[in-house]
Structure 1
């Protein structure tokens, strides 16, 4: 990927068939990437990076100060999160179908003898996916009338650098599976955020004004969500 050095700051430059410039700072290392229209002059990119210098440094410093979570080992006694609450992983052998059950303060994983950590991860991931797919229809039913839009399709997937995405033309939204580990209001914030993109594509004054109208506490929820790095060592971008 082409790289540009701006005031001793390495900047990845991605040229796309887009209309506006987009600057992103990524966790955990604070790398900077600028997506620009195909024919954007290099000087315009330099000026954007220089103008956003304080914003870039603020987010890089925040990423440096964050405690990075240790990789999950999927062993008994380990802490896993669901809807913002910690649960202790308990392992049990079973002759039946492997499954996960939430009870009290524990996540009980029933497995065949010889199950590997990778297989336990698959079981838990499937359980998380089922839980978020239960909740998203309810959230959409709640918030679509408030925002005044309707999506044609929605889905869930693992994303390294986004909490959610919206395809405006197709009226399709995707939500990050990791959201199910965070408090319910954080999931609601991302749902509303993506729905508002069906009114306004850009993160501009109109967009944030609509967020203020539909979800007045959105900034608090956003700060709370972005305090957490993803277990894989990545965090959704700081835009």
Structure 2
């Protein structure tokens, strides 16, 4: 990918068929990318980035301050989160495909054959997380779509490295990050509302945030909580 070095900032540059310059700072390492219209001169990109240095630094510092995730081995005694609450993992030897159950509050029970690999246990836990989030989506949509006054045609779940949610406005399709099932319910609701509001307004502009204030006045607390979370890379 082409790059520009602007003072001490290394900028990834992607030229595409768009109308305006777009700047993104990515977690976890604070990588900076500019998407630019096809014929944009390097000098214009340089000026664009220079005027936004404070914004870039703020986000890079936020990412650097995030607590690094603990490497998980999916063994007994580990802590795994569900809806913002810690749960201790209990591992039981059992034949068949690894599976997870919530049998007692505060514990997640993993049933797996002896010698099962961490990757197999992780897959089982993610399958359980996905099923729980999928179960909750109809109620979330039923609650918040009337409030926002927009309806998604399709809801999906996937692991994402840099975003909590995305919205395809044309298809009216909303994707939620699987990691949201580990966060407090209010954080999940915030992302649902955030993506639904994009069906009113594509950009994160004054109108967008004004609509957020109207539909979910306490959204800022959830947004701040999610900022402190370090999303793990997708394998």
**Is it true that 1:145 corresponds to 2:146 in the alignment?**
yes
Residue 69 of structure 1 aligns with which residue?
A: 69
Moved more, 149-158 or 60-69: 60-69
Residue 226 of structure 2 aligns with which residue?
A: 225
Residue 131 of structure 2 aligns with which residue?
A: 130
Deviation at 1:169, TM superposition (A): 0.5
Secondary structure of 2:87's match?
strand
* Superposition pairs of residues 1-239 of structure 1, within 5 angstroms: 1-95=1-95, 98-102=98-102, 103-232=104-233
Q: Residues 71-99 of structure 1: CA distance to partner in whole angstroms, max 9, x if unpaired?
A: 21111111101001111111001246642
Q: Residue 213 and residue 233 in structure 1: after superposition, are their counterparts in 2 closer, same or farther (change >3 A)?
A: same
Deviation at 1:233, TM superposition (A): 8.6
Q: Residues 159-199 of structure 1: CA distance to partner in whole angstroms, max 9, x if unpaired?
A: 11111111101111100000000000101011111101111
When the two structures are aligned, how many residues end up with a matched partner?
234
Contact 2:148 2:193 in 1 (8 A): yes
The answer for unaligned runs of 5 or more in structure 2 is none
* Over 4 Å off, 4+ runs: none
Contact 2:67 2:228 in 1 (8 A): no
Deviation at 1:226, TM superposition (A): 1.3
Deviation at 1:62, TM superposition (A): 2.1
Q: TM-score, normalised by structure 2?
A: 0.94
Contact 1:139 1:188 in 2 (8 A): yes
Cα distance in 2 for partners of 1:62, 1:226 equals: 8
Moved more, 154-163 or 18-27: 18-27
Q: Which of 1 and 2 has higher RCO (CA within 8 Å, sep 6+)?
A: 1
Cα distance in 1 for partners of 2:108, 2:20 equals: 45
Q: CA RMSD in A?
A: 1.6
Contact 2:62 2:227 in 1 (8 A): no
Cα distance in 1 for partners of 2:9, 2:146 equals: 45
Q: Residues 106-145 of structure 1: CA distance to partner in whole angstroms, max 9, x if unpaired?
A: 1001112221111100100100000000111111110100
Contact 1:72 1:231 in 2 (8 A): no
Cα distance in 1 for partners of 2:42, 2:21 equals: 12
Cα distance in 2 for partners of 1:14, 1:205 equals: 27
Cα distance in 2 for partners of 1:161, 1:18 equals: 22
